[in-house]
Structure 1
Amino acid sequence: MKTTVDIPEALLREARKLAAREGATLEVLIERGLNRVIAEARQNPPFKLRRASFKGKGLSPGLRNGSWEAVLGRAYAGRGS
């Protein structure tokens, strides 16, 4: 399949030099690079935060319009802080 890709000149120059040293084509280098990026992405899938709400009701009524200090105070109440 053919496609058009914009590559910065400096990167293209380096890629052509490397291809010449290795006796490969630019196409082979690009394919190898894409395969590496895809393999790495498969090994390290993006982090997804699990849904962790409790019954989906949000903050307690006394905290809905409260400050962060009020939330922390309620969280640490009775814990010596």
Structure 2
Amino acid sequence: MKTTIDIPDALAQEAKAVARGSGTTLRELVVAGLRAEVERREAAVVVDFHFPTVAGDGLAAELVPEDVVHRSYGLPS
């Protein structure tokens, strides 16, 4: 599919230089970068949790955010 996008001039020049230096085309570089970014975003873990509180009056003092994530997902500490 053909599409038109606006790329900042400096980035376009840098990308062209990288493509030339690696013996590929700008199109191949853009496709590879876009594919990598799509895969990265699809693989991103969405953490949905709440912080435990003490009687609703604030965070439990002994817990730090990492502990809550580990407890919520059964991960080792």
* Same fold, TM-score > 0.5, yes or no: yes
Q: Gapped runs of 5+ residues in structure 2?
A: 58-77
Distance 2:28 2:37 in 1: 14
Q: Return the letter of the residue paired with 1:36.
A: A
Q: Which residue of the partner structure matches residue 44 of structure 1?
A: 44
TM-score, length basis structure 1: 0.57
Instruction: Answer 1 or 2: higher relative contact order, Cα 8 Å, separation at least 6.
Output: 2
TM-score, length basis structure 2: 0.59
- Residues 35-77 of structure 1 deviation map (CA, whole Å, 9 limit, x = unaligned): 1101111110444568xxxxxxxxxxxxxxxxxxxxxxx745x
Distance 2:16 2:27 in 1: 10
Structure index of larger Rg: 1
Which of structure 1's runs of 4+ aligned residues deviate more than 2 A?
45-50
Task: Using the TM superposition, name which of 3-12 and 41-50 deviates more.
Answer: 41-50
Count of matched residue positions in the alignment of Structure 1 and Structure 2: 55
Distance 1:20 1:11 in 2: 14
Distance 1:22 1:10 in 2: 18
Cα RMSD after superposing both structures: 2.6
Q: Which residue of the partner structure matches residue 32 of structure 2?
A: 32
Q: Does 1:16 align with 2:16?
A: yes
> Percent sequence identity over matched residues?
34
Aligned residue runs from structure 1 range 56-71, under 5 A: none
